[in-house]
Structures are given as C-alpha cells and as structure tokens.
Amino acid sequence: MPLDPPTVADVLTAQRRIDGLVVRTPASSYAELDRLVDDAGASGAHVVVKHENLQRTGAFKVRGALNLLLRMSDDARRRGIVGYSTGNHAQALADAARHVGAPCTIVMPTAPNPVKERAVRALGAEVVLHGERLEDACAHAEQLAEDRGARLVSAADEPDLVAGVATASLELLQQRPDLDVLVVPVGGGSGAAAACLVAAAVAPRVRVVGVQAAASPAAHDSWRAGELLVRPNRTRAEGLAVGRGFALTQGLLRTHLSDFLLVDDDAITRAQRVYLTAGRTVSEGAGAAALAAVLTHAERFAGVRTGVVCSGGNASEAELRRALTSA
C-alpha cells in the first residue's frame, strides 16, 4: 500500500515536537570557501553551509527519528524498534529510542565505521552485525522485527521520519530566506525529499538539487527513469551507500527536484579536505557530497546563493587521514 507523504503542516508540527531536543544548527559562510568555489568556475557564487554535522549524534537524521519515536504509542514503544543502517540512521534511532525509553536493536553490515558502531552501543542499543551490504542487513532486520513483534523502521519509507528531517530545510530557509538553491546529499532520499516538500510549500522559487555518489546511483537513476531501480552500491561514503530507490522519497523528489548530480568518491574526499581547511569543519564523506557537487559542477552555481547541507560529521580516523592527504 503506498504511503501518504507528509505535508508541510506535518513538518511544522514536527518542528514544535522536537524543539529543544535538537540543535538549531548554524548556517555559515566562509570567505575562503567562496574563493575556492569561485576558482573552481562558479564566479560570484556564495555558499552557505547548513551545519548538520553539529547536530545531536553528528547528523541530521536524529530530527526524523525523534519525530517518529515521539509519535509512537506507549504500547508500540514498549515492543521496541528494529533498524538497519550503516551508522547515522542507527545512531539517530538509538538516541531517540533512549529518549522515549524504547528498546532498540540495530542491524549493521559487518565492518561498520567504528566511530558510528561505538556511538550506537554507547547509546544503549543492541547491535547485530550482519551481511556485507545494507540490503543484507535490511533482510535480517525484517526477520528480527517479525520475531520480536517490534516496529521495523525503514531508512526512507517513513512519513514521520521525512517530516522530522524536513525541519532542517525549513530551518535553513528561515535562517537564509535569500537562498536560490539547496544542494542536498542523497542516499535513501529522505533529506532531499524533505527539502523538496519544504521548498515547494514555503519557497517555491528555491531550486533543490540532489547529489549522489556515482558509485551508488540508485536514487539518481530511479529519479531519471521514473521508476524504482536497484543499482550497484560501492561508494565508500557510507551515508550514501544505498542500493535501491524508495517509493515515498522518489514520489516527493518527482514533485520538486530540479536536478540530480553525481560525484565520484575522490571528489567527495577532496571536498572533505576543503571543509577541513577552508571551513574548519569536520564532515564525513556523505556530509561533503553536496560541496563536492558544487566544486565539480561549479559553472552551474556561478552567481548563485547556494545552500549546501553538510549532513554529517561522523568521519572515521582513516577517512580524515585520507582527506588530509588527498591532492
């Protein structure tokens, strides 16, 4: 059965519901970053970074998880939740579950980012490592949820999650109503779908551009084809490592997304370095993908006031070392 997409009224309600539980993250500009983007070919571009890397648990996803868990009945909370994730969805669910006192089990693919795995355990969730790819972890999580009578929380096909995530875009448009474009990284598509929903309702002249890793292009290819596709999933930016399109988020992307760009993993790593050096900002790969797209496709952003979502900051040590030694 198709899910009803959230409305902007749901987003406003979510904003009130999670107010005080999440960080109103800064929207910042950096002269050196603007200069680098200008040098890359976007003359007169002005970049505004939405710092969800500074969000509670280090990524935007906790906005959605809190909204979802706060909307669950007492009985459903007692039965608990099961999620599957490469890390940030996991941390968000674990954090929100702890807030409402619900048991939380997370299935992660084997060999997770150690920073994320430690954080999930520290938040009190049970961690099960299963399968090489997110798709394998997903199948295992479905089984666990059924066995335990718990609620399986999808990473994207969840209206309450999208409504909560949308508060990040709403907040950015409230902080910087002068923006022309929002550039949003895409994995399952909740962040970009949420940006489309909000922009269409409150700032229809603002264009929303999605960015995905070329090594994991399922959402991009699904959007271009107009149907849900399965695609290879090989990016090292684990926040973007998703192998299929999701119905709810693709439906919202179809209503308002104006373009969808692909970036390769090395461009993402270089953008992480730019964040470190020109923006004093720690981003994980997925968190730097939007900036990577602006640097790679700079000519499209000449003279444009561009909001880039720095979606997360949970980079492993190895990842930061790679970024600092990249050319």
Ligand X SMILES: *Cc1c(COP(=O)(O)O)cnc(C)c1O
Residues that contact ligand X, how many (by CB under 6 A): 20
**Cβ 234 to ligand X shortest distance, Å:** 16
Helix (H, G, I), strand (E, B) or coil at 273: helix
88 binds ligand X (CB under 6 A): yes
**Helix spans in the chain (H):** 8-18, 31-39, 61-71, 74-79, 88-100, 114-122, 134-148, 159-175, 190-202, 218-225, 247-256, 265-279, 285-296, 317-324
Q: Choose between 80 and 188: whose C-beta lies nearer to ligand X.
A: 188
* One of 59, 153, 172, 293 touching ligand X (CB under 6 A): 59
Query: Of 59 and 102, which CB lies nearer to ligand X in the complex structure?
Result: 59
Q: Give the list of residues 6+ apart from residue 255 with CB closer than 8 angstroms, or none.
A: 196, 197, 200
Tokens 């981003």: give the residue: 283
Q: C-alpha angle with apex 164: 162 to 168, nearest 5 degrees?
A: 100
Q: Which is nearer to ligand X, 59 or 198 (CB)?
A: 59
Smallest distance from ligand X to CB 73, Å: 25
How near is the Cβ of 289 to ligand X at its closest, in Å? Answer: 7
Rank residues 3 and 41 by Cβ distance to ligand X and give the closer one: 3
| 188 lines the binding site for ligand X (CB under 6 A) | yes
Task: Report if residue 27 touches ligand X, rule: CB under 6 A.
Answer: no
67 contributes a contact to ligand X by CB under 6 A: no
In this chain, which of 191, 217, 245, 279 binds ligand X, going by CB under 6 A?
Answer: 191
Count other C-beta atoms under 10 Å from residue 240's C-beta.
30
312 sits near ligand X (criterion: CB under 6 A): yes
**195 contacts 259 by C-beta, under 8 angstroms:** no
CA–CA distance, 211 with 197 (Å, rounded to integer): 17
Q: Which of residues 264-293 bind ligand X (CB under 6 A)?
A: 284, 286-287
**Contacts (CB under 6 A) with ligand X, residues 223-262:** 239-240
- In this chain, which stretch among 72-80, 141-149, 187-195, 293-301 interacts with ligand X, using CB under 6 A? 187-195
Whether 109 and 137 have beta carbons less than 8 Å apart is answered as yes
Q: How far is the CB of 272 from ligand X (least distance, A)?
A: 12
**109 is a site residue for ligand X (CB under 6 A):** no
Residue choice 80, 109, 112, 189 for contact with ligand X (CB under 6 A) = 189
The encoded tokens of residue 322 equal 């790679």
> In this complex, which beta carbon is closest to ligand X, that of residue 163 or of residue 240?
240
* Interatomic CA distance for residues 69 and 287, integer angstroms: 24
Of these, 42, 49, 120, 186, which contacts ligand X (CB under 6 A)? Answer: 186
Q: Closest approach of Cβ 25 to ligand X, in Å?
A: 13
Please state the three-class secondary structure of 200-262 as a single string.
HHHCCCCEEEEEEECCCCHHHHHHHHCCCCECCCCCCCHHHCCCECCHHHHHHHHHHEEEEEE
Q: Is there a contact between 239 and 116 (Cβ–Cβ < 8 Å)?
A: no
CA distance 233 to 150: 28
Which residues form the interface with ligand X (CB under 6 A)? 59, 61, 88, 155-156, 185-192, 239-240, 284, 286-287, 311-312
